[in-house]
Chain A
Amino acid sequence: NAGVTQTPKFRILKIGQSMTLQCAQDMNHNYMYWYRQDPGMGLKLIYYSVGAGITDKGEVPNGYNVSRSTTEDFPLRLELAAPSQTSVYFCASSGQGRGAQHFGDGTRLSIL
């Protein structure tokens, strides 16, 4: 049972480059979330989705975009990487809107 799978696990980008962080879940969950965690801080919500085709902004959406074309996948796009986006990114899903969220193991992203 894979749960929530995030790829890649690590990535180094140059300023101005773009990339997509992948997230897939195999639990048929409607609700999916992207968070970032900076050193010594809690997780902050970037974007979330309540189902295929429906996405909305969280607490810190600037510099990111998302799409949700299928129930399983929820990719996060960085268009113009900036040093402030150096962080660990976590994807999560839940079967119920206000249920507990299941997290992937994260993508550690460094922008130099």
Chain B
Amino acid sequence: DQQVKQNSPSLSVQEGRISILNCDYTNSMFDYFLWYKKYPAEGPTFLISISSIKDKNEDGRFTVFLNKSAKHLSLHIVPSQPGDSAVYFCAASTADGGATNKLIFGTGTLLAVQP
């Protein structure tokens, strides 16, 4: 049972344009969502997060949007740069994990930004 789904295995975007990565979830108890970026042979790197009490969070070129009614979140990267080419993972957790963040990850989307 895949609770966090990233239905697009890959995405190709031109440099300077907007990249939109999507994530859907099924568990209505998720209250905290994160995006991670991963280069080959490296560990995931935290990008941005959002709590379920918000519908938008921005950090520089990265913006995450949360639509709770649709159980959908998206990551926007504007403008896209060749260095953004990586695998992007969506992750979520519930408050019933107590004080810990027991993350459930999606399967990832490979973003390729073409120069």
The interface of chain A, by Cβ under 8 A from chain B, is 4, 31, 33, 35, 40-45, 48, 50, 58-59, 90, 92, 94, 97-106
Contacts and interface: CB of A to CB of B under 8 A. Distances in A.
B102 interface: yes
Contacts of A59: 102, 104
Given A42-B4, A100-B49, A105 B102 contact: no
B89 A99 contact: no
B14 interface: no
Contacts, number: 64
Interface in B37-84: 41-46, 49
B32 A98 contact: yes
B85 interface: no
Contact of A41 (B93, B99, B107): B107
Interface in B69-115: 89, 91, 93, 97-108
Contacts of B101: 31, 94, 97-99, 101
